[in-house]
Amino acid sequence: MPPNFQNARPLVSAAVKEPAPEDTLTTTEAVGPTGPATGGNSDSYLPSLSGPIGLYRVSTADVGPRNHLRLALHGEFFTSSGLLIEGDQDKRLLGDFTFGFTVHPNVEIFGALLSSSNRNTRDSELGRRDPELIKSFGDLVLGGKAAFPVGTGISVGFEGGFKFLSAISDLSFSADSTSFWLGPLATIDLRPLVNAPVRFHVNANFYADNSRNLRDLSTMATATDGNVVTEQTKWVAQFAYGMGASRFRAAVGVEATFDQILIPLQPFAEYHAEIVTADADATFAEYMPPACDTPGGLPCKDNRDQQWVTAGLRARLWKGLTADAGVDVRIRSVGFPYGPPLPPYNVVFGVAYPLDIDAFRRPVIVTIEKEAPPTVGTVVGQVKDAKDGKPVGAAIVAAEGRSRARVATDPDGSFRSAPLEPGPAVLEISAAGYETSKVTAKVVAGQPVDLASVALTPKTPMGNVRGKISDDKGTGLQASLKFMGPDNFEAKSDAMGLFSASLPAGPYRVVAEAPGFPTKEAALDVAAAQDKQLNIALRNRPPNPNVTLNDTGISLKQPVRFVSGTAKLSSAAQPGLDGVADVMDDHLEIRTLRIEAHWDATAGDKSKELTQQQADAVKAYLVKKGVAESRIEAVGMGSDKPLVPNIGPASKTKNRRVELTVVK
């Protein structure tokens, strides 16, 4: 493909030199200046296929360090059938020697020596005048580029150049076939902007192509057609000599760098678009309206635009010596009246080498460093778990009052502190899941101080509890809560009755108190790293005096009675059962209340069925009053467990009873 815009340097960072060991012979070199928008590494500036710093045909808006020389040698190759004429075979080989030199921090000059060889073989053609092999040697490119930074990561520039085609008849250049181009370019570097090793480049220029003046192709007429140029002959000759038309050119390029590997790599890609501005060649009128696309005519091929993409990869092998390879892929060619077609592909390969001439002129300073007495010391030790004695890895050891003095322990818990000034030093040791610990060590210059082991206490696993304190109508209350368990803690609810607390994991007894309301208790299990919900309702009425909660169950002053011989609760039993519901609501720690209904021996075999119905009736009443059904167990005992012998009405009445037992 025709040379367009050129090749970019790999994105690399400057090498970092380690300090020389004490009592050794060292050399020091001054580093030369760098050009705009550079990374400071002179090995990263490489010439393109036409000379300026850039990608293959996309120039970058930088010029390299002053007095920096860049050399490259490339070859290009393709072979294809039916490219120019149906049934023909084309093979083309190009050779490029390119160079660039930075004469000023903002200016580079560049050049290239180009050669080409194209072989076109096709069936015998009447009047063919082009040779099968056409060679071109000694084409010369000379140009210059200026570039300036305009913002963080952004630089712009301007580039221009000449392409001198060697005359076909002698060794001199053909003056009237000299071409030139001129246009702006820009580069955006994402490294200082978002810390990404990627750069984008944009080029645009006008290329005044005078290559059609290189040779008068009218001499390639057949012996029988007078002075009419044979179309096939002209196609092949224009393609082989690279004869094109003046055009506007635009291109974008992107490059990335992977320099943290054994061989630094730089993949890159380009997109090119060109629009011919010159007049059409009348020789190919058959491909333009109105002659084309007519019955028996040729298809129209008179478009002025052409496009292609390039993908490539560079590998920096040794001290700046770089090998590269890539391929151009055609998207669209211009029509025959506006120039030769683009090949379907074009393989590019080569090597490049940058040479910093200033490096030969820099003074070499030889210094002998004598060993100085040590002025700092270190602290060593091992961090362990205070409970099981296991080492704690990844713990952070920091020195109070010292910035950049943090180190992490190894997997075995061992550490060596950063260099510290002699004297007392306070070390703060912290690790995830442990309480922070501080130790004091006396630092001695020139030697490590061993702390042996430092114990870290594991943090108590914590859980969260949140909820609401309200009255029996659901209105929030300001109340105080006491949590009694693995740790005693007090909290208060806000005006909406809401509260939250963070507690060590474990079982708790919670006591809620609010002015004008009876105290209420609840049970709570706090789980590590989990949220628990606890809602407590306080009732603004005194406890029922007829109901008593004791260690074994709930006692009623008035026994639970039923309508004679049935499971229907009497109205006199309801106030007492209301009190039982209040007790169950106030004491959430009661997990299960067992209701046992008993009868005398008069019911015979039916006593079991009757007492089960009575126990179920008591359970249903309590559930209706808001007690969770899962907290109540109803059992009909029949007449199996009389309190007294079933002799006389008084004894039988005493045996007909309901017992409420707390099962924890």
Tens of pLDDT, residues 130-150: 778 788 777 899 999 999 999
**Average of per-residue pLDDT across 41-64:** 90
Closest of 125, 119, 93, 85 to residue 220, by C-alpha:
125
pLDDT for the residue numbered 127: 59
Strand segments, DSSP code E, in 369-505 are 378-385, 396-399, 407-408, 414-416, 423-430, 437-443, 448-456, 462-471, 480-484, 489-492, 498-504
DSSP state, residue 570? P
CA–CA distance from 186 to each of 59, 146, 307 (Å)? 9, 11, 21
Containing 586, the helix (H) or strand (E) segment is: helix 574-586
The pairs formed by 20-24 with CB atoms below 8 angstroms and a separation of 24 or more are: 20/369, 22/369, 22/370, 22/371, 22/372, 23/369, 23/370, 23/371, 24/369
User: In the structure encoding, which two tokens stand for residue 317, read together?
Assistant: 């092998």
User: In the structure, what pLDDT confidence band is assigned to residue 233 with cuts at 50, 70 and 90?
Assistant: confident
* 3-class SS of residue 581: helix
Is residue 355 within 8 A of residue 393, CB to CB? The reply is no
DSSP state, residue 522? E
Which amino acid belongs to residue 5?
F
pLDDT for the residue numbered 125: 62
pLDDT for the residue numbered 552: 85
Q: What is the pLDDT of residues 396-446, one digit of tens each?
A: 999 888 877 889 999 998 999 888 888 898 999 999 889 899 898 888 888
Closest of 251, 285, 245 to residue 270, by C-alpha:
251
Of the two residues 21 and 325, the one the predictor is more confident about is: 325
Which amino acid belongs to residue 500?
S
Q: What is the DSSP string of 541-563?
A: SPPPTTEEE-SSEEEESS---BS
Cis peptide before 290 (omega within 30 of 0): yes
Is residue 151 within 8 A of residue 254, CB to CB? The reply is no
